[in-house]
Amino acid sequence: MEFFFSRMAATFLISLVLGISAALASPPEKGICPVHHIRMESITLRMVYGMPSQLEFEEMRVEKTRFPHGRDYVLAGCVVKPAKSVAGFLCPECVKARKEWLAPREK
């Protein structure tokens, strides 16, 4: 059981570092979604702190290739920092694809 939680935490940290650094370090060129190739809305994303749910772990595995800009928030890690929001983008097609992906998985 301990191995499972250690592996889960490691997976989360790696996904978090890669996801946030990719989102912040290399914003989509001219606000165009890299998956759907449409203009995205520039918004302020909420930063959500804490351990993600199992569903969010599953979502992190598929979001980069299917709906990278489908959330109005960023998973910011377990250590709460002063930052409460960050500039980002929201793609309407990513939002739609994320909702379709989540629908059969939510209880």
Residue 90 backbone zone (phi > 0: left; psi -120 to 50: alpha; other: beta): beta
Instruction: Name the pTM for this structure.
Output: 0.71
pLDDT band at 25; cut points 50, 70, 90: very low
Q: Are strands 85-90 and 41-48 parallel, antiparallel or unpaired?
A: antiparallel
Q: So where are the chain's domains?
A: 2-102
* Residue 28, pLDDT above cutoff 90: no
